[in-house]
Amino acid sequence: MSAKPLIYLDNNATTMAAPEVVSAMTEMLSTHYGNPSSLHHFARVAGAAVKHARTQLADLLGCRSAELLFTSGSTEAITTAFASAMSAKPGGHIVTTAVEHPAVLRNAEKYESSGSRLTLVPVDDGGQLSAEQFIAALSEDTALAAVMVANNETGVVFPVEAIVEACRARKIPVLLDASQAAGKLPLDIKALKPDYVAVSAHKFHGPKGIGALYLRRGAPFEPLLIGGGQERSRRSGTENVPAIVAMGVAAQLAKQRLESGEMERLRILRDKLEAGILATLPNARVNGRGERLPNTLNVSFVHASGEAILQHLDELGIAASSSSACSSNEQEPSHVLRAMRVPESHIHGSMRVGLSAYTTDDEVDYLLSVLPRVIEQARAASPFVGNDLADDYVESSRKDDPLYCDC
């Protein structure tokens, strides 16, 4: 009996570190391990490596290296941006969307609990955001507008150019969460001119635990961590040099993939998977319309148990996810799909597939070959079978909330 394959299709949750990334990180850990704040040779080598990595990341994002500060990841970058904007305008109004990552939503709710007004702009049933609705929600007392470049669950790309332009015209600080977009979409921060941008290395074949915040010169800023004054006093704490260097290498590789047409290969592969699913499972529903990240497919199967889908796929050696996998211990239905008014019976049978630079045609073919049987088994385990209420559309949980903006 041949061993089952091991196929990783959960690349929106995290990606495999590229071999070049692992090699660079290992070298810094074992050979160039100096503290950049010291004065000897080891320190100078480490400091030069950090400077080079910052340049590599700036090349990927289309900004100046001096505008980047390294963080522990996107969550810290987002939290720093919130703290900075809100310290400049305490109690100010916050505008974001109903489908943001929890790192944005929980920060927004934190300031709401302290007296700030919070507006959550809805998306349509295809997960698309109207720039006009978002802009209409802005007000004279808005302290921060926060919006993702692309959704982590559906891959839907948001109209951030128009939103940033409107915010700049009103002198409203704007935060872009580019965690999923970096390395998958071309970014030109210098042309876009947002105030803050958050990115995380492990989303584009870098290591976990390292990210960055783009900080526009002149934007409100309040350091989250104070102490030794590292990162030009913007983020204290000894630099994680091995991870920073690894992120730089990952950024360089990501830029090369963007320039080589790799994203088009992934789009073709994703479309092949989508077409194959719809052909063999006609009751399947694709969640997300319009422009999407080329690697992302979110699909629902009526009257199927998402947990059972993942379990059966895992038994076959395939790793996928049912929604956002950043907090998988909380088996809560996707707030993104609920905001899109997806039927409850489909929400509980959702599956997200995230392809990567290492995903092959054979792996997609294997998933297509086993999926019909997996869905049949998952439907047998579903509590929704025979439930007359299962197909009712569920309005966003914020629909009756006075903070929910239907503007």
Across the chain, mean pLDDT equals 91
Q: Strand, helix or coil at 161?
A: helix
Task: State both tokens at 306.
Answer: 């998402």
Q: Are 198 and 74 in contact (CB under 8 A)?
A: yes
pLDDT tens readout for residues 97-110: 999 999 999 999 99
- Looking at the predicted structure, is the pLDDT value of residue 404 above 70? no
Q: Is the pLDDT of residue 398 over 90?
A: no
Q: How far apart are the first and last CA of the chain?
A: 59
In this model, does residue 270 exceed pLDDT 90?
A: yes
- Which percentage of the chain shows pLDDT scores above 90? 78
Q: What's residue 230's pLDDT?
A: 82
Q: How far apart are CA 283 and CA 303, in angstroms?
A: 10
- Quick check: helix, strand or coil at residue 340? coil
d(CA 119, CA 192): 24
- Give the E-state strand segments of 31-183 in sequence order: 68-71, 93-97, 118-121, 142-148, 174-177
Predicted confidence at residue 43, as pLDDT, reads: 85
Which CATH number applies to 19-258? 3.40.640.10
326 in catalytic set: yes
Catalytic residue among 63, 167, 326, 407: 326
pTM: 0.91
| Closest C-alpha among 324, 333, 320, 325 to residue 368 | 320
pLDDT digits (tens, 9 = 90+) for 58-101: 999 999 999 999 999 999 999 999 999 999 999 999 999 999 99
Tens digit of each residue's pLDDT (9 = 90 or more) over 156-185:
999 999 999 999 999 999 999 999 999 999
Mean pLDDT of 266-271: 98
340-395 pLDDT tens trace: 999 988 898 999 999 999 999 999 999 999 999 999 999 886 666 544 334 433 33
Find the range with the poorest average confidence among 86-100, 116-130, 222-236, 283-297. 222-236
Region of 194 (left: φ > 0; alpha: ψ -120 to 50; beta: rest) is beta
In angstroms, rounded to a whole number, what is the distance separating the alpha carbons of residues 152 and 101? 7
Average pLDDT for residues 278-291, to the nearest whole number?
95
Contacts of 139 (CB under 8 A, 6+ apart): 93
**Domain range annotation of the chain:** 7-15+261-380, 19-258
Q: Which CATH number does 7-15+261-380 carry?
A: 3.90.1150.10
How far is the C-alpha of 48 from the C-alpha of 51, rounded, in Å? 5
Q: Percent of the chain scored above 70 by pLDDT?
A: 90
Check residue 380 and give its pLDDT: 84
Q: What is the CA radius of gyration of the chain?
A: 22
| Rounded Cα–Cα distance for residues 56 and 248 (Å) | 5
Alpha-carbon gap, residue 358 to 9, rounded angstroms: 10
| Higher-pLDDT residue of 389, 46 | 46
Query: Cα(175)–Cα(190) distance, rounded to whole angstroms?
Result: 14
pLDDT at 405 over 80: no
287 pLDDT tier (thresholds 50, 70, 90): very high
